[in-house]
Amino acid sequence: MRIAYLHSGSIPSIYANGIHVMRMCDAFTDAGHEVVLYALPGTAPAEDVHGYYGTRNRFAVRTVAQTPLPGLGVWSRAGRVRADLRRQGLPDLLYGRDLRALLACSDLAPLVYETHLLWSSPAARGIERLLLRRRNLRRVVFVSQALADDYRLAFPRLGSLRGTDLVTAHDCADPVPDNGPVAQLPGRTQALKIGYVGHLYPGRGTDVILDLAERLPDADFHLVGGTAADRAHWQSRSRLPHVHFHGHLPPAAIAPYHRAFDIVLAPYQRKAYCAGGVGEISRWVSPMKLFEYMAYGKAVIASDLPVLREVLTDGVNCLLCPPDSTEAWAAAVKRLAGDPGLRVALGNEARRQMLQHHTWRARAQQVLSGMPGHPVAVGEC
């Protein structure tokens, strides 16, 4: 099957949506499909986009800039994507998160719309209403069950759309080898290494991590990721010698850091935002870093948020803490620091569950199952 993935963000970029899109296109290609990704031109330096993301497959990536066309305004890029699809030969399936491009191209092929948040913008809601009425819409994919439930409330007719399936598919990770390079981290050789991988936006818990570092001087803290501006902001607030900011790294270069950590943190707050403070997503978030932690068999401490309990179980595959209680987080770190066996048990169970339920290949199978040119998943009807 020929799949055109329509993405409204830039490739390559420093943002998580780019990682998600590239991983999905990689998994679609693994499943035997021919994939073309449409994206905005890159905003991160990379000569080789596939090398930057560490993909297994070299699927096509076509960049379409947001340049104005007379009379089209904000729809100009969607028009360019449509024109390019017609020139290149129509795909068998349109897939993606780009509302305007999906709507503009919705008469060209069957389509699957994936969404990661309930849009607050009236303009985006209006486009969604039109998209959800399109005859070619075959499936809507939600990144969490909480998001699916809220969509049903916002769009009461969604569940009765004829010929349209509703699928909940959490984010995922790829299986990783047991052995591989381990980062040589700065700091003390014998100190417990506590890691965080991800952005440093408001609501991601960077302040919790810095408070933890003050309470736990015997551990070294390593934060991987963040824009230069965000990193400078938080570094100015912490001069502790055992806190190390590593900055943004290409996704393909992060594995050695995961392997080097003893404990990993996912301190999402009760309000968490996307880049630039756009989109409050704490109610629906399905963080990729969580599944990557699980893939490496690491002991995870995470925020006790309802949406994260869709995947996490306290004392089984992680320890859960109230998002804003530094005392509880410090107690959880001390508990794991003093019980290596518990760290191993939590990490092993997290990895087992990730391999069984949350790989990108399994997600690709789930979101395409039963589509023309793709088999029904085992156990489905």
Percent share of the chain, pLDDT over 90: 81
Per-residue model confidence (pLDDT) at position 156: 87
Mean pLDDT, to the nearest integer, of 308-329? Answer: 97
Looking at residue 45, its pLDDT comes to 84
Q: Which residue has the higher pLDDT, 371 or 365?
A: 365
State the Cα–Cα distance between residues 201 and 272, nearest whole angstrom: 8
The C-alpha atoms of residue 78 and residue 323 are separated, in whole angstroms, by: 40
Q: pTM for this structure?
A: 0.93
* pLDDT at site 67: 79
**Sign of torsion, CA 157 148 199 368?**
negative
Which phi-psi region, left, alpha or beta, contains residue 76 (left: φ > 0; alpha: ψ -120 to 50)? alpha
- What pLDDT, on the 0 to 100 scale, is given for residue 238? 86
Pairing mode, if any, of strands 243-247 and 219-224?
A: parallel
Q: For residue 172, what is the DSSP state?
A: -
Q: 71-85, 136-150, 367-381 — which one is most confidently predicted on average?
A: 136-150
**Contact predicate 345/67, CB 8 Å:** no
Identify the bridge partners of residue 142 per DSSP, sorted by sequence position.
115, 168
Q: What burial letters (b/e) apply to 315-351, b meaning 16+ CB within 10 Å?
A: eebbbbbebeebebbbebbeebbeeeeebeebbebbb
Check residues 227 and 173 and name the one with the higher pLDDT.
173
Pair of tokens at residue 332: 């959880």
Q: How confident is the model at residue 158 (pLDDT cuts 50, 70, 90)?
A: confident
| Helices 16-30 + 360-368 axis angle, to 10 | 70
CB 257 within 8 A of CB 224: yes
Neighbours of 162 (CB within 10 A): 5
As given in the structure block, the two tokens for residue 310 are 């869709």
Q: Is the pLDDT at 338 greater than 90, yes or no?
A: yes
Which segments within the chain are labelled E, that is strand?
Answer: 2-11, 34-41, 60-63, 93-96, 111-115, 137-142, 165-168, 192-197, 219-224, 243-247, 263-266, 299-303, 319-321
Look up tokens 């031109």; give the residue.
41
pLDDT in tens, 250-305: 999 999 999 999 999 999 988 765 555 456 678 888 899 999 999 999 999 999 99
Please give the single-letter amino acid code of residue 49. Answer: V
CA distances from 277 to 64, 247, 272, 280 (A): 25, 19, 9, 8
Give 321-346 as a DSSP string.
Answer: E-TT-HHHHHHHHHHHHT-HHHHHHH
Mind listing the domains of the chain with CATH numbers?
2-172+359-368 (3.40.50.2000), 192-357 (3.40.50.2000)
Give per-residue pLDDT as tens, 183-233. Answer: 999 999 999 999 999 999 888 899 999 999 999 999 999 999 999 999 999
- Whether residue 95 is predicted with pLDDT greater than 80 in this model: the reply is yes
Within 236-371, strands assigned E span 243-247, 263-266, 299-303, 319-321
